[in-house]
C-alpha cells in the first residue's frame, strides 16, 4: 500500500494554530495523519471521528504515543454534535474535516473504490451497515442511475451509461469493479486521446451515492461552526467541485447571517503547491476553506 500522506498539513496547522493548546476535533480522522500533526504541534486533546472501522484501527496505532490525550469514535462526521456531547465537550478550539478518500481506502483489496483491480463492488466507507454499490445498481431504475451519474459525476454521457448498466444486469449482476468499468468504457464514445479513464466519473458518482457524501454536508458545516470557541477555526478540505461548492456557500451564508458569528478567512480556497503535488499527486484537486468564530 502507498504510504498515506495527509494533504496540506502545513496549511492546516497554520489555520488551526494548535501550538496554543486546547481541544481539537478531527471529524474525518482517517489514518491519523492530520491528527498526529495537530498533537505534535501542541494540541492538548484530540477527538477523532471516522466511519471506517479499519481506518480507525490504524489511527489508534498512529496516535498511540498520545493515547492519554486522544478519543477515537466510530461515527460519521455529520454526527459531530452528538459525539461532542458524549465526550462532554461543548466547545472546541479547532475543527478539521478532510473529505477525501485515503490511499488506504483506494488501495486496500475488497473495498471496491477503484477499477485498478477487479473485486466486489462495495464502495462503503462504513462496512458495518448500508447498501453496497452492487446492491444499489441491482435495484435502481435507469432514470435514477442516469441522474446520479450526471449529478454526482458530472458525466455528460450519463444516460448512455445508465442504459448500458441496465441492459447488462439483465444478463448478469453488475457486482464487480471490473465488470462495471468495462460496461462504462463501452458506453462512452471515444474521440481521440482521453485525459482520464472513461469510468472515473461514474465511479466517483457511485461512491458519493453509496456514502451519501453530499447529504447533510451543509448542516455539518453549520454544526461544526456552532461548536467553536471564539477565536477558533473550522477547516474543511474538499476534493471535487460539488463538495467545495456546498462548503463555500454554507460558510458565506453563515457569515452573512451573523447568527453564529462566523468570519470566512479564506476568500479563495487554499490549494497545494507544486512541490506537494509532485510528492503526492492525489493532492492535486484538494481545496481548503477556513472560517473563524469571532463572537
Which grid cell sits at 248?
463555500
Q: Is the pLDDT of residue 21 over 50?
A: yes
Please give the Cα distance from 282 to 289 (Å, whole number).
18
Q: Is the pLDDT of residue 55 over 60?
A: yes
Question: Per residue in 145-177, pLDDT tens?
Answer: 999 999 999 999 999 999 999 999 999 999 999
CA Rg, the chain, in Å?
Answer: 20
Q: Is the pLDDT of residue 262 over 70?
A: yes
The pairing of beta strand 92-98 with beta strand 228-238: parallel
Please give the Cα distance from 5 to 55 (Å, whole number).
14
Question: Per residue in 223-244, pLDDT tens?
Answer: 999 999 999 999 999 999 999 9
Average pLDDT, the chain: 94
Model confidence band, residue 5 (pLDDT cutoffs 50, 70, 90) = confident
Percentage of residues in the chain having pLDDT higher than 70: 98
Which domains, from first to last, does the chain contain?
Answer: 9-99+214-293 (3.40.50.150), 111-211 (1.10.150.170)
Q: Which residues pair with 287 in a beta bridge?
A: 238
Percentage of residues in the chain having pLDDT higher than 90: 88
Alpha-carbon dihedral sign for residues 31, 245, 126, 105: negative
Question: Per residue in 65-95, pLDDT tens?
Answer: 999 999 999 999 999 999 999 999 999 999 9
Please give the Cα distance from 187 to 59 (Å, whole number).
40
Cα atoms in the 13 Å half-sphere on the side-chain side of 199: 18
Give the helix/strand (H/E) hosting 290. Answer: strand 287-293
Q: Are 226 and 146 in contact (CB under 8 A)?
A: no
Q: How much is the pLDDT for 1?
A: 44
Q: How much is the pLDDT for 100?
A: 85
In this prediction, residues 240-259 reach a mean pLDDT of 96
- pTM for the structure as a whole: 0.91
Amino acid at each position: 500500500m502507498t504510504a498515506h500522506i495527509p494533504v496540506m498539513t502545513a496549511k492546516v496547522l497554520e489555520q488551526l494554530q494548535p501550538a496554543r493548546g486546547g481541544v481539537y476535533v478531527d471529524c474525518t480522522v482517517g489514518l491519523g495523519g492530520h491528527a498526529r500533526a495537530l498533537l505534535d504541534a501542541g494540541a492538548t486533546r484530540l477527538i477523532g471521528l471516522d466511519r471506517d472501522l479499519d481506518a480507525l484501527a490504524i489511527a489508534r496505532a498512529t496516535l498511540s504515543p498520545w493515547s492519554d490525550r486522544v478519543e477515537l469514535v466510530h461515527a460519521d462526521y455529520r454526527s459531530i454534535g452528538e459525539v461532542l456531547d458524549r465526550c462532554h465537550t461543548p466547545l472546541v478550539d479547532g475543527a478539521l474535516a478532510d473529505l477525501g478518500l485515503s490511499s488506504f481506502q483506494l488501495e486496500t483489496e475488497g473495498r471496491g473504490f477503484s477499477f485498478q483491480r477487479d473485486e466486489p463492488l462495495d464502495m462503503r466507507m462504513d462496512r458495518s451497515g448500508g447498501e453496497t454499490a452492487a446492491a444499489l445498481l441491482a435495484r435502481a431504475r435507469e432514470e435514477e442511475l442516469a441522474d446520479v451519474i450526471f449529478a454526482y459525476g458530472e458525466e455528460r454521457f450519463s444516460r448512455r451509461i445508465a442504459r448500458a448498466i441496465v441492459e447488462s444486469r439483465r444478463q448478469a449482476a453488475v457486482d464487480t469493479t471490473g465488470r462495471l468499468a468495462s460496461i462504462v468504457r463501452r458506453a462512452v464514445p471515444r474521440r481521440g486521446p482521453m485525459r482520464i479513464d472513461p469510468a472515473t466519473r461514474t465511479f466517483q458518482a457511485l461512491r458519493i451515492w453509496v456514502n451519501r457524501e453530499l447529504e447533510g454536508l451543509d448542516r455539518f458545516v453549520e454544526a461544526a461552526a456552532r461548536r467553536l470557541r471564539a477565536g477558533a477555526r473550522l477547516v474543511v478540505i474538499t476534493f471535487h467541485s460539488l463538495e467545495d461548492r456546498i462548503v463555500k456557500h454554507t460558510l458565506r451564508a453563515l457569515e452573512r447571517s451573523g447568527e453564529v458569528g462566523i468570519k470566512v478567512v479564506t476568500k479563495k480556497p487554499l490549494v497545494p503547491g507544486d512541490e506537494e503535488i509532485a510528492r503526492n499527486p492525489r493532492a492535486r484537486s484538494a481545496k481548503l476553506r477556513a472560517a473563524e468564530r469571532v463572537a
